[in-house]
Structure 1
């Protein structure tokens, strides 16, 4: 008999009932150090007082009115994002998947309105993940994502990650844009080198196509900049954001330049819940904290500390681990042992990690994790690795 919850997840036998900062408390009372943060969602950990206050105050005032009316909290958050990014305008969604849908529509509508309706193709890369909607799985194109869900939405060109010659050859009179994650998350924590991101920007400018960034997982302070592409010193035309922007409350956004968004006029897109007062109240509180240069400097310092300790961990367990990679507090450990076994051993050691492709475990802690918690996390990972080695 099927479960009342559709069984599309292979869930761990854990039931968390509360959380505080970087800690999760299981129903049986065990305390787990959380290095997953809800898959890079809980940017400020669990029950952060500023987020609790923002949500509580807003919940007691006004929950929802719809986008038929002005929403002051939405306007305030849009202004903050524009002030802190390349963008001129923002559309709010509920998730990264919805952000992907709009990004695709925006790129195609831009060229339609420019009198180039044939420009519908979007170039994407192996190992990518852009959500699980029809557009998202078609964009990623992997067999694992698409099998059984055809016919797929057409208009995506899939290239091998890092194949520069193929990229040059793939751009035609049908190309609308290039969609890329500055750091692949589900694909195994694979950062795109700064030089490559700069090269993509130059290529888009040369051919008059749109640079589309997916920063759903790597954005909002995760790499030590507010947005990961800032390390390369380039701007985008369209960018997808979600996860950390709501700190745990469902919230996403598409940021765009005025030019790239020029086709999205009244009636071309909408969202019932996107940008409602509850979500934007929390989003404002998140951005107020994370966009602070002093906060981002601390993220970078803690990232260096964690990476240093992880290098020592890998050296101590060469039979279990191979290398550490990533950027900021978006780190991955490539494993020699089966990564699912490492994650499970972590559960036994009461530390949460997240599996990814390429036999990697992801470490995506709260951006405000403490130095002591970093030390304790590595101690618990050491315990997990020791149990596997034994």
Structure 2
């Protein structure tokens, strides 16, 4: 019997090592990994440059605390602010912590308490970020949530307008709802967000935990929609597997987060910042147009190969955050895909989520398509036989 809490439905795979787009289990079986730590390893497993940077830092200093000046924090913050619409950065350890900081900052800076987030969103599992998440399955069993959150349907301008009042501090949104079914922000809704937040002087918080650091074909996903958020949250890909999170904010919010207003013991320690700096330097060396073109071509191939299948309704997404929306539950198909050597995820009951590293080869992308197609065809045959 395991000594662990049963908080995860674990697969029958125990991973021994990883390299690039591949994982190898303890029995020597190789898997093409399009989970990548759930959109974490944007540059694949054990990227040599990032790995070397962390190894070198290990022999110098792991942790000192935020009572000291930490040069790497300034270096990473400079890169993030130079390539975003924000001016200041707070470092933490995860996406949930970044979103927690964003919620606190929005409320403190505005003096208002209400935050509107989207139905089917996902922002974390701390009490505040769970309350911000618009999914009942995340809320179940924990008693009354924080009452200061209201949920509006994603891409529904009319309903959002009705929910806005003088108590609203911020609107919190993902450009692509990853956990919520890989749903992409519609340009018309983005335009409405711009106009509404400006007119009503409401802060715009964009959760880029899953979409940031190149995953959608740009540094941040919000860039592709003409948005200028007041607050941006990051984690996952920022450390390529090393735990690190960040909240970015515009200059007008700086006075609300002065000494003693927020903190994190481990946030921004030298190891995490070394990993983040190496990731960002690698990211800036990429050709984003090339990433976009590769991802767009792959999405087209997925549609060509899968849309004739009766189980597939839609292939959607942005960059290398792709969802295959199906006509029924996908867990059995995902298990079959895994047994054929490809690792993928669900995004809700009926969507298969694909998260390859952004430096994936076209050969591996095509290999994944064929495994998915084969697995779906086998499932179709089994259903017809039964």
- What is the TM-score of this pair, normalised by structure 1? 0.95
Aligned match of 1:301 in 293, 302, 322?
A: 293
Q: Is residue 40–residue 241 contact of structure 2 (8 Å, CA) maintained in 1?
A: yes
Check conservation: 1:314, 1:322, Cα contact below 8 A.
no
> How many Å separate the matches in 1 of 2:346 and 2:254?
35
* Structural mapping, 1:183-194, within 5 Å: 183-194=176-187
Question: Which residues of 2 match residues 1-390 of structure 1 at below 5 A?
Answer: 3-112=2-111, 119-292=112-285, 294-316=286-308, 318-357=309-348, 359-390=350-381
CA drift of 1:194 comes to 2.5
Equivalent residues of 1:225, 1:296 under 8 A apart:
yes
Quote the offset at 1:24 in angstroms.
Answer: 0.5
Q: Structure 1: how far apart are the matches of 2:274 and 2:328?
A: 43
Equivalent residue number for residue 115 of structure 1: none
**Inter-partner Cα distance in structure 1 for 2:181 and 2:283:** 25
State the alpha-carbon separation in 2 of the partners of residues 240 and 33 from structure 1.
29
Shift of 1:261: 3.3
Secondary structure of 1:222's aligned partner = coil
Q: Which structure 1 residue ranges, 5 or more long, are not aligned?
A: 113-118
1-side partners of 2:307 and 2:208: how far apart? 31
Residue pair 2:117, 2:171 contacting (<8 A) in 1 also: yes
Contact preservation (8 Å) 1:128, 1:187: yes
CA offsets per residue over residues 334-372 of structure 1, 9 Å max, x none? 112421112111111110001012510111100100111
1:198 and 1:262 mapped to 2: Cα distance? 29
Which stretch of the first structure deviates more once superposed, 187-196 or 78-87?
187-196
Contact 1:289 1:295 (8 Å CA) reproduced: no
Distance 2:105 2:336 in 1: 44
Per-residue displacement from partner, 1:185-242 (whole Å, max 9, x unpaired)? 0000001113312320221010011001011101111110100010012210011111
| Shift of residue 153, structure 1, vs aligned partner | 1.6
> Do 1:211 and 1:236's aligned partners in 2 also have CA atoms closer than 8 Å?
yes
Distance 1:81 1:196 in 2: 26
Figure out how many residues of one structure are paired with residues of the other and give that number. 381
Look up the match of 2:384: none
Provide, for residues 279-298 of structure 1, a one-character-per-residue CA deviation record: whole Å limited to 9, x for no partner: 11010111111133x43222
Question: Any idea what SS the aligned residue of 2:42 has?
Answer: coil
Q: Which residue does the alignment assign to 1:116?
A: none
CA contact (8 A) 1:334 1:358 kept: no
Unaligned runs of at least 5 residues, structure 2 = 382-386
C-alpha distance in 1, partners of 2:354/2:135? 24
CA deviations on 1:292-314 (whole Å, 9 max, x unpaired) are 3x432221122022112201221
- Once the two structures are superposed, what CA deviation does each residue of 1:122-171 show, in whole Å capped at 9, x if it has no partner? 00111100001101111114321112112212211111223222211111
Distance 1:233 1:86 in 2: 11
Q: Does the CA contact (< 8 Å) of 2:21 and 2:45 recur in 1? A: yes
| C-alpha separation in 2, matches of 1:107 and 1:122 | 9
Where in structure 1 do 4 or more consecutive aligned residues deviate above 3 Å? none
Q: Decide whether the 8 Å contact of 1:89 with 1:255 is kept in 2.
A: yes
Whole-angstrom CA distance in 2 between matches of 1:58 and 1:350: 35
Secondary structure at 2:251 match in 1: coil
How many Å separate the matches in 2 of 1:210 and 1:203? 10
1:141, 1:312 → 2: CA distance? 33
TM-score, normalisation: structure 2: 0.96
Q: RMSD of the alignment, in Å?
A: 1.2
Deviations 1:228-263 (A, max 9, x none): 010012210011111001111101100100112321
